[in-house]
Structure 1
Amino acid sequence: MTTAKALTIAGSDSGGGAGIQADLKTFQELKVFGMSAITAVTAQNTLGVDGVYPMSLEAIEQQIECIAVDLKPDALKTGMLFNSEIIELVADKIKQYKWENLVVDPVMIAKGGANLLQKEAIDAMKKKLLPIATVLTPNIPEAEELTGLNIQNMEDRKEAAKRLSALGVSNVIIKGGHGKEKESVDLLYDGTCFSSLLAKRIPTKNTHGTGCTFSAAITAALANGYSVKDAFQLGKDFIHQAIKMDLHIGSGHGPTNHWAYQESKR
């Protein structure tokens, strides 16, 4: 039996709820061997981000190269990349090694409001990274930043998805957590057709790391051979249970529960 492997290229969250910590926990829960290349170290907890310390380009490159020569990933995701130089390096390395099944979570702002992507880096993301993405998973504010649209309703979301698809992204998933509907509606556009998944909204402030966890679940599913549509469904189910079975940790925006999905199946 071949063991599926997934790589996360992202920032470290000292509080354990987001970033590579959330990604690796999610990979493990979905029976995928997780690997990481750290782009930045953050000093943070559930109350907010106190510091961001980007890794050197040399350190990021060497992490990726060590994985490439020995542990080729079956799927990979990017999270916090912070600046244009890191984005360009990561995109070049992914193309160099011809890695497939790339999930891009365009991490821009932390739950507490801290900027995790410099403004000048948005163009680099659109030009270098999005054209090689298999799946892009922005929330509504991130989709607005990437497209320049003011997204107020589902038709606006569909237009944003079309514009992002036109940049070369194979599949766009615009998450509905920031939407105004009674249910959370996640929208998938595959370049031709739209489909959506609905889930009951859960009244909680403990949603730290939801974007990382959702995209990591999709990455793990792709590594295990799922289609994008089936990976989308698994990601939705995984994050819904992670939010629903709250851990109640910390005094601010607490983390989701990464073992909830497996717990719900018992």
Structure 2
Amino acid sequence: MKGRVLIVAGSDSGGGAGIQADIKTVSAFGGFAMTAITAVTAQNTCGVTAIAYLSPGMVADQMRAVLEDIGADVIKLGMLGNAEIMEAVCDTLARYPSIRCVIDPVMVATSGARLMTEDGEAAFRRLYAHCFMLTPNLPELEVLSGHPLSTSQEMREAASEVMKSQDIAWILAKGGHLPGEDVIDILLSKRHERQFRDRKIDTLHTHGTGCTLASAIAVCLAQGEEVERAVERGRAYVRHAILQAPPFGKGSARPMNHMHQKEG
């Protein structure tokens, strides 16, 4: 077991995304997963029916309990929800400035349910000060940049703008929502750029892809991989998880197989 990852995110009762997907992913890579739960959701493959947020103090207490004892090599942030929780997380991260942080800006579930409040969107930007890597999908990048995006070039320009204006070391802009037969993701830093391209998979088993990819990258970084290799391994892992998905659920946002054997 190698690589300690503290995951700060919400619980998905359906097991396909959120804390459940994060723990499975880190474990599949042989890492040690720890958690600070921000919210409990009632959801399945058909959608989210209820959300209950934990108190900001409890979220911070979970983080401090883990970090002051076990420690972490990387912290991964997922669903934070509201402004109060984001402020508490931000204040806690400020006490541990040497730990790299991978942030998946969870705003909307695959099913379409809103997972970030409007006041949360404003408070979210405080977290940039602690962000090593940001992993927005196209709709999230549209919110963060303030621009409508419909091409890979527009996505690249928006990602570059956010990265430079907020002084983020790395950003992985995910283009799965772009039209076309291929998935195009763009990895950017101030001195580096790489485009990843794969053929799209025609499937309903895409629930939790964002959570899973960010956690896969986080655990690879925690295990000492360089950023580009961490992204390569994470993307390959998600692709195989989709291809080997179990036949579970009746809705349009069905789970992947996080415990498949080939992770790339």
Name the CA distance, whole Å, in 2 between partners of 1:134 and 1:77. 10
Query: What is the Cα-based RMSD across aligned positions, in Å?
Result: 1.3
Q: 1:135 Cα shift? A: 0.7
Q: 1:177: Cα distance to partner?
A: 1.1
Contact 1:37 1:64 in 2 (8 A): yes
Q: Match for residue 43 of structure 1?
A: 42
Render the CA deviation track for 1:141-189: whole Å, top value 9, x for unaligned: 0000111111111221111111210212110101121111321111101
TM-score by length of 2: 0.96
CA positional deviation for 1:36: 0.2
1:193 CA drift (Å):
2.9
- Once residues 171 and 264 of structure 1 are traced to their aligned partners in structure 2, the CA distance between those partners, rounded to angstroms, is 23
Structure 2: any 5+ residue segments left out of the alignment?
none
The normalised TM-score by structure 1 is 0.95
Q: Structure 1 CA distance, aligned partners of 2:140 and 2:40?
A: 22
* Aligned AA (1:180): P
Aligned residue number for residue 231 of structure 2: 232
Counterpart of 2:16 in structure 1 is 17
- The answer to whether the Cα contact below 8 Å between 1:199 and 1:240 also exists between their aligned partners in 2 is no
| Runs of 4+ residues deviating >4 angstroms | none
Aligned runs of 1:106-125 on 2, under 5 Å?
106-125=105-124
Note the residue ranges of structure 1 that are not aligned, 5 or more in a row: none
Tell me the distance in 2 between the aligned counterparts of 1:17 and 1:195. Answer: 29
How do 1:115-194 and structure 2 match up within 5 A?
Answer: 115-126=114-125, 128-165=126-163, 166-194=165-193
Equivalent-residue separation in structure 2 for 1:264 and 1:148 (angstroms) = 35
Counterpart for residue 259 of structure 2: 259
User: Do structure 1's residue 87 and structure 2's residue 86 form an aligned pair?
Assistant: yes
Tell me how far 1:66 sits from its aligned partner.
Answer: 0.6
CA contact (8 A) 2:220 2:230 kept: yes
Q: Displacement, 1:131?
A: 2.5
Cα shift at 1:263: 4.0
**Alpha-carbon contact 2:138-2:173 (below 8 Å) kept:** yes
State the shift of 1:123 in Å: 1.9
1: CA distance between counterparts of 2:224 and 2:148?
A: 36
- Match in the other structure for 1:34: 33
Q: For the Cα contact (< 8 Å) 1:42–1:52, is it kept in 2?
A: yes
Deviates most, 190-199 or 146-155: 190-199
Deviation at 1:194, TM superposition (A): 1.9
Work out whether residues 12 and 20 of structure 1, in 8 Å CA contact, stay in contact via their aligned partners in 2: yes
Give distance in 2, aligned partners of 1:99 and 1:90: 15
**d(CA) in 2 for partners of 1:190, 1:181:** 26
Identify which range, 32-41 or 86-95, moves more after superposition: 86-95
What is the deviation of 1:99? 4.3
